[in-house]
Amino acid sequence: MGLEVQGGLLMADLLDIIIVGIYLCALLGIGIIASKKIKNCDDFICAGKSLGFWLFTVLMIGTVCSGMSLLGVSGFGYLSGWPGIWEQIFVPLAISFCVIFFGVKLQHVGRSAGYMTVQDYFAHRFQSPRTLRGLSSVAGIIVSLIYLAGQYTAISIVLMWLFEIPHWMALLIAAVIVTAYTTLGGLYAVAWTSLFQGLLLLIGVLIMAPLVIMSAGGITHVNEVLAGIDPNLVQPAFPASYAAYAFCTPEFLFSFAILLMIGLSCAPHVINNVLAVKECRYFKWVPLVSFLVYGLVMFLIKFSGFAGRAMVADGLLSLPDVANAQDFVFVYAVQYATQSVYLWGIFAVIILAAVMSTTDRLMLTVGSMFGWDIYRNVLKPKAKDSDVLKISRITTVVAAVITLLFAINPPDILAFLIWMGIGVMLSTFAVPLLAGLYWRGATREGAIASMAAGLVASGVFGYYYQFVAKLPMHFSIYAVTCSFVAMVAVSLLTARNDATVLDETMTGWYIQPK
Amino acid sequence: MFGLPDITIFTVSSAVALIVVLLALWALRYREVF
């Protein structure tokens, strides 16, 4: 650990180990209790479609609130100042967007048609039980695995920082715990642990963030320091891209809004949650409640990033001399603000809670996409339910092992792929989903072309943006445009799907039918 | 206010307020039975 509190260090280390140990045991305990409820695939993948209002709301927040929500959000605040505040509006809006524009219809149709994953919807709506289901599952699994590797990296940063243990050991501890409870308890365990971890996160941030802001001299002083560094750091957007940190120009923020709001909402690990809700009446207040709760947490974390920048400028804090040092600002600012080593264990638990709640959902999504969509619906349609459950569990473990190997020995391209993650989700899934739900003219061929075009274009534009030249907007906006053009052009040239199927899947220009 | 230019306060707070109003409207107009 970074601070020189020699006397209490040994005791603090022991206390930190106990705190984190209790937390990890609690997760495991929840997994064991949840495992008693798993009787079939529906229980494992959709928690028996029994999630209540708060379980669903917190599951959505926990799924969206990834490892980078604490480290990356404050780091982004440190780097970009107020022009980056829009991230804290767009990300919580992803949940509202998902519930309103996808959830209402999908949950209703899914309940009568027996959907387990969003791929069931694709197969039904586009009358493509194998091709589109297979393509979207493979794309979903690849993107989820990449995203998962990023989550494991964030977990290892926290455990390495707290316990000064080797990278591989930190990863292994986290992976064993999260894999155990996810494999045992499926979505029941993921939802229950999310509730537990969401409460920890909320309470922790409500205590830690104000402490950090007060230690930096209060919000007014923080803003004055930011304005002294660069007057544009307190503006709502940068007027032009005049420096590496000044990329949040108005046009970039527009693409950022689309990326975060729609890209996150159509990610398989997020959208699948709407199929597990017990009653559709919960969709009434979830958009507002999740926006307010998650928005409050995110704003406080962003303000902590601003405060960290002011503390560094005032000479109160210095960041480590490593790449992306800004991502450590929340950790270092809390260390400075609390001074007490005894609080660090609790703080580590808060960060782990944010990371774990996304990691478990991603692993379950990979397991269910392979077990249910590929094994049960493409490879072996007559497979028994118990076999599908077994395969889903095995795939969840395999997903953990693969990503762990990537995270322990990260190839050079991994950082690039993680950075691409949400952009690929937007480019691949947004157009087929939105067109499928709201445009009766969208055809199977259009959906396949749109998905393939989005996937390829995101690779091309992502590479160009990162390695050739910066574009005025986020690369995904160009890729999603290609996906949109492919959907419209190919759909207009091919025959429409059956009207019966379009009626069954509630396809049309409405959210709720009159 | 809070050491920020008026444009920042106005833009950010009105965006948040607009979203809250829209989401509240969604809730009030949502029909519980299809």
Give tens-digit pLDDT for A30-69. 999 999 999 999 999 999 999 999 999 999 998 988 766 6
- Chain B residue numbers with beta carbons less than 8 Å from the beta carbon of A295 are 16
- Say which residue, A408 or A264, is predicted with more confidence: A264
Take residue A37 and report the two structure tokens written for it.
Answer: 């409820």
The C-alpha atoms of residue A135 and residue A429 are separated, in whole angstroms, by: 11
| Residues 72-91 (A) with a CB less than 8 A from some CB of B | 82, 85-86, 89
Say if residue A478's pLDDT is above 90. yes
Give mean pLDDT, residues A341-365: 82
Say if residue A479's pLDDT is above 80. yes
b/e per residue A64-88 (b: at least 16 CB within 10 A): bbbbbbbbbbbbbbbbbbbbbbbbb
What is the reported pLDDT for A286? 97
Take residue A101 and report the two structure tokens written for it.
Answer: 């524009």
CA distance B25 to chain A (A): 10
Report the chain B residue with the minimal C-alpha distance to residue A511: B30
- Chain B residue numbers with beta carbons less than 8 Å from the beta carbon of A221 are 3
CB contact under 8 A, B23 and A291: yes
CA distance B21 to chain A (A): 9
Global model pTM greater than 0.90: yes
- Strand, coil or helix: A277: strand
Candidate from A227, A236, A292 with C-beta closest to B7: A236
Q: Find out whether A316 and A87 touch, Cβ atoms under 8 Å.
A: no
Give mean pLDDT, residues A205-223: 94
What is the reported pLDDT for A250? 96
Architecture of the domain made up of A6-409: Up-down Bundle (1.20)
Confidence tier at A173 by pLDDT (50, 70, 90): confident
Q: What is the DSSP string of A448-475?
A: HHHHHHHHHHHHHHHHIIIII---SS-H
Give mean pLDDT, residues B13-29: 97
- Chain A residue numbers with beta carbons less than 8 Å from the beta carbon of B12 are 82, 85, 89, 236
Amino acid in position A48: G
Confidence tier at B34 by pLDDT (50, 70, 90): low
Stretch among A159-163, A218-222, A271-275 having the lowest mean pLDDT: A159-163
CA distance A446 to chain B (A): 29
Report the chain B residue with the minimal C-alpha distance to residue A282: B32
Confidence tier at A339 by pLDDT (50, 70, 90): confident
Q: Find out whether A319 and A87 touch, Cβ atoms under 8 Å.
A: no
What is the reported pLDDT for A50? 94
Q: Find out whether A106 and A121 touch, Cβ atoms under 8 Å.
A: yes
In sequence order, which residues have a C-beta less than 8 Å from that of residue A372 and are 6 or more positions away? A41, A45, A116, A117, A119, A388, A392
Confidence tier at A7 by pLDDT (50, 70, 90): very low
The C-alpha atoms of residue A360 and residue A154 are separated, in whole angstroms, by: 14
Report the chain A residue with the minimal C-alpha distance to residue B18: A89
- Chain B residue numbers with beta carbons less than 8 Å from the beta carbon of A292 are 20
CB contact under 8 A, B16 and A295: yes
CB contact under 8 A, B34 and A89: no
Read off φ and ψ for residue A382, nearest 5 degrees: -95, 15
What does the CA dihedral A29, A33, A36, A42 come to, rounded to 10 degrees? -90
Confidence tier at A332 by pLDDT (50, 70, 90): confident
- Say which residue, A368 or A169, is predicted with more confidence: A368
Say if residue A26's pLDDT is above 90. yes
- Chain A residue numbers with beta carbons less than 8 Å from the beta carbon of B5 are 234-235
What is the reported pLDDT for A407? 78
User: Tokens 């669903």 appear where?
Assistant: A56
Q: Classify residue A48 by its DSSP letter.
A: G
The C-alpha atoms of residue A67 and residue A356 are separated, in whole angstroms, by: 8
- Chain B residue numbers with beta carbons less than 8 Å from the beta carbon of A284 are 26-27, 30, 32
CA distances from B22 to A107, A246, A296 (A): 22, 31, 18
Report the chain A residue with the minimal C-alpha distance to residue B30: A284
- Chain A residue numbers with beta carbons less than 8 Å from the beta carbon of B15 are 86, 89
The C-alpha atoms of residue A99 and residue A55 are separated, in whole angstroms, by: 14
Say if residue A367's pLDDT is above 80. yes
Give mean pLDDT, residues A160-164: 70
Domain ranges of chain A: 6-409
Say if residue A439's pLDDT is above 50. yes
CA distance B15 to chain A (A): 8
Q: What angle do CA A37, A28, A60 make, to 5 degrees?
A: 70
b/e per residue A115-154 (b: at least 16 CB within 10 A): bbbbbbbbbbbbebbebbbbbbbbbbbebbbbbbbbbbbb
Highest mean pLDDT among A298-312, A403-417, A419-433: A298-312
Q: Is residue A176 less than 8 Å (CB to CB) from chain B?
A: no
Confidence tier at A232 by pLDDT (50, 70, 90): very high
Q: What percent of chain A has pLDDT over 90?
A: 68
